[in-house]
Structure 1
Amino acid sequence: ILKPIEPEKYNGVPDLAEFHKFTNQMQEYLAGYRVKPRNHASVVSRFLGGRAHEFYVNTVSRNSKAYQFKDILVGLFNYCFPIDFRQKMREKLRNTRQNGRLIQTYAYELENLFLILGMDRNEERVDAFWFGLDKYIQGELWKQMM
């Protein structure tokens, strides 16, 4: 039986890739050691540094047993990322276009933005994908649907 690998410390840098990596590593660690939800906060705190640890001390430590993992992540995100981060990501989504790139590359970028924004409604996703496609591809798809 393999023990879960310790997550890398998250220092509160407002970098989505770093935050996402920490989230995944921490989730695997908690599940791998079968940490009870009431102990999640104290275990997570061992892997926080800088601004992220500041969040823990100022917010979570007063009543750590009341915080579930998801609550900690939401709080960390709100504390460490700029207040207008989601707004900027929504704007980026509105302006994202295929622009001659491979559809896979374009779809991958959209998928990341959907994940960041918590967009799980298919209508919104299809809308964003369709209206960002290159016009000639839209035209060909229209022809196939007729």
Structure 2
Amino acid sequence: VYDGSADSDKFQCFVLEATHYCKEGKVAKDEQVFLVAHFLTDKAYAFFTHKVAKNHDKWQLPKFFEELFNYCFPLNYRNQQQVRLRHCYQDDRSVSEYNLFTLVGGIGKHERVIRLWDGFNQNIHYELHHGKLNKEFHSWNEIVYKAELIEMA
């Protein structure tokens, strides 16, 4: 259930669960948004009733989630997150907790990889280099996977 609060963790959880629910339930694409609306309350439900309900069957989930985000979050939310990102380092967080980048729009995949890499702790940098990984050539998934293995070792 999502209430429309500007809480990125709640929003992301809702998106993942709703997408999974529709996929596993084999819900027809033209009914997915209507079904997902049953799990909205407050501000999020107001978005559905005012902007989507009349022609819900024309909406696809990705576009619905994007517009729901735009309706519920402040206009400058992504900019605020990008500012936080520039000053974000792993510090004492685990690799999996260090995932701010997945929430920040407006930067390319390569730039995300570079910022992720540059924010890692020195021991993870050392081990990634030792494992012959490079922020210029390896993907986000490859780097995160290796960093999590290093962290567990």
Give the TM-score range, shorter chain: 0.7 to 0.9
Q: Distance in 2 between matches of 1:139 and 1:54?
A: 46
> What code does the residue aligned with 1:108 have?
S
Tell me the residue number matched to 2:46: 54
CA distance in 2, matches of 1:62, 1:44: 15
Give the one of 30, 41, 56 matched to 1:38. 30
Change (3 A) 1:39 1:90: same
User: How does the TM-score come out when normalised to structure 1?
Assistant: 0.74
- For residue 96 of structure 2, give the secondary structure of its aligned residue in structure 1: helix
Q: Say if 1:130 and 1:138, in contact at 8 Å, map to a contact too.
A: no
**CA offset digits 1:1-49 (Å, max 9, x no partner):** xxxxxxxx21111111111111111112111221100011211111111
Structure number with greater Rg is: 1
Unaligned residue ranges in structure 2 (runs of 5+): 133-153
Question: Structure 2: how far apart are the matches of 1:70 and 1:140?
Answer: 38
1:12 to 4, 12, 19: 4
1:125 aligns with 2:117: no
Matched, 1:70 2:59: no
Q: Which amino acid aligns with 2:3?
A: N
Percent of paired sites with the same residue: 28
Match of 2:139 in 1: none
RMSD (CA atoms):
2.6
